Amino acid sequence: MYSLANQWGVGVSSAVIAVDGPVASGKTTVGRLLAQRLIYKFLDTGAMYRAITWAALEAGVSPKDGSRLVRLAQEQRMGVVFQQDGQAAVLVDGRDVAAYLREERVEQSVSLVSQVSGVRDILVELQRRLAEEGSIVMAGRDIGTVVLPNAPLKVFLIASVAERARRRHAERQASGHSVSYQDVMEDIAKRDKLDSERKVAPLRPATDAYVMDTDGLSIEMVVGRILEQVRQRQWA
Ligand code: DC
């Protein structure tokens, strides 16, 4: 279904694009739009870490209990299905859990869960299998460095903390949450520290990543520049 010729007229069967970056750097919005333009699938791997966190909280498993988290990840049968439009639905024991992934309790615990290497191993293996068919944009923190180090295009998005806080604050206000800009900014700074200083798969650009500072750029401009990189590579 996804091996359609895209607008670039290139063979897409093994094409994968890794999009990494810190919290609120635009990975998901950019990745989704990029995938639509290329007629690729899109997978936000953060949703997988959130899904396992939600499952742990539902089962009463502490986000600090590494071995129980790993057991839970093995038993819960995580899955991902791609819909007709290329968007992914994350399943836990066959159930689409999209509605729960932004819950505050998930938000508070997901950084801890994503530091457990046994949990990461299970999710990384699934992510690699999902990438095997190609024609996919995968967004996360470690896609270019760990999950798909051979991806022909690795994008790493950066933006200042102030810009990311402004975007995330506007998003939260639009969805009816009353939260101060200062709190959002502090939360982003805290997550940056956790994501980049953790021992397992810390956030950093791959040595051959295309690093883009998105401060002051619109989503369209960011996607346009990435498409230019796709065109230059032609997936030879
Ligand atoms: O992108 P996000 O905010 O939905 O990610 C949720 C958490 O999962 C965040 O703490 C970082 C972590 N994560 C990760 O460690 N590796 C990934 N590939 C994706 C997300």
What is the atom index within ligand 1 of the atom nearest the CA of 27? 1
Tell me the pLDDT band of 4, cut-offs 50, 70 and 90.
very low
What is the atom index within ligand 1 of the atom nearest the CA of 147? 18
Residue nearest to atom 15 of ligand 1 (CA): 114
Angle formed at CA 23 by CA 22 and CA 27, multiple of 5 degrees:
75
Q: Who has greater pLDDT, 5 or 89?
A: 89
Distance 78 CA to ligand 1 centre (A): 16
Number of H helices, E strands in the chain: 8, 8
pLDDT at 14: 64
Question: What does the pLDDT look like over 146-162, one tens digit per residue?
Answer: 999 999 999 999 999 99
- Judged against a pLDDT cut of 50, whether residue 11 lies above it is answered with no
Residue nearest to atom 13 of ligand 1 (CA): 46
Q: In what order do the strands lie in the sheet with 88-92?
A: 78-82, 88-92, 95-96
Residue nearest to atom 20 of ligand 1 (CA): 46
Which of the listed residues 23, 25, 45, 49 should we mutate to test ligand 1's pocket, taking the one with most ligand atoms within 8 A of CB? 49
Lowest-confidence region among 17-21, 75-79, 221-225: 75-79
Tell me the pLDDT band of 8, cut-offs 50, 70 and 90.
very low
pLDDT at 2: 35
Question: What does the pLDDT look like over 166-190, one tens digit per residue?
Answer: 998 998 888 887 889 999 999 999 8
How confident is the model over 33-37, as a mean pLDDT?
97
How confident is the model over 105-131, as a mean pLDDT?
95
Ligand 1 residue neighbourhood (C-beta within 6 Å)? 23, 45-46, 49-50, 110-111, 114, 140-142, 195
Distance 7 CA to ligand 1 centre (A): 31
| Residue 129 in tokens | 């299998």
Angle formed at CA 66 by CA 63 and CA 72, multiple of 5 degrees:
80
Distance 199 CA to ligand 1 centre (A): 14
Distance 140 CA to ligand 1 centre (A): 6
How many other C-beta atoms can be found within 10 angstroms of the C-beta atom of residue 52? 28
Distance 141 CA to ligand 1 centre (A): 6
> H-helix or E-strand containing 185?
helix 181-197
Tell me the pLDDT band of 26, cut-offs 50, 70 and 90.
very high
Question: What does the pLDDT look like over 199-216, one tens digit per residue?
Answer: 888 889 999 999 999 999
Average pLDDT over the chain, rounded to an integer: 90
Question: What does the pLDDT look like over 54-109, one tens digit per residue?
Answer: 999 999 999 999 999 999 999 988 899 999 899 999 999 999 999 999 898 998 89
pLDDT at 142: 95
Whole-structure pTM value: 0.90
Q: Which domains does the chain have, with CATH numbers?
A: 3-233 (3.40.50.300)
Residue nearest to atom 2 of ligand 1 (CA): 46
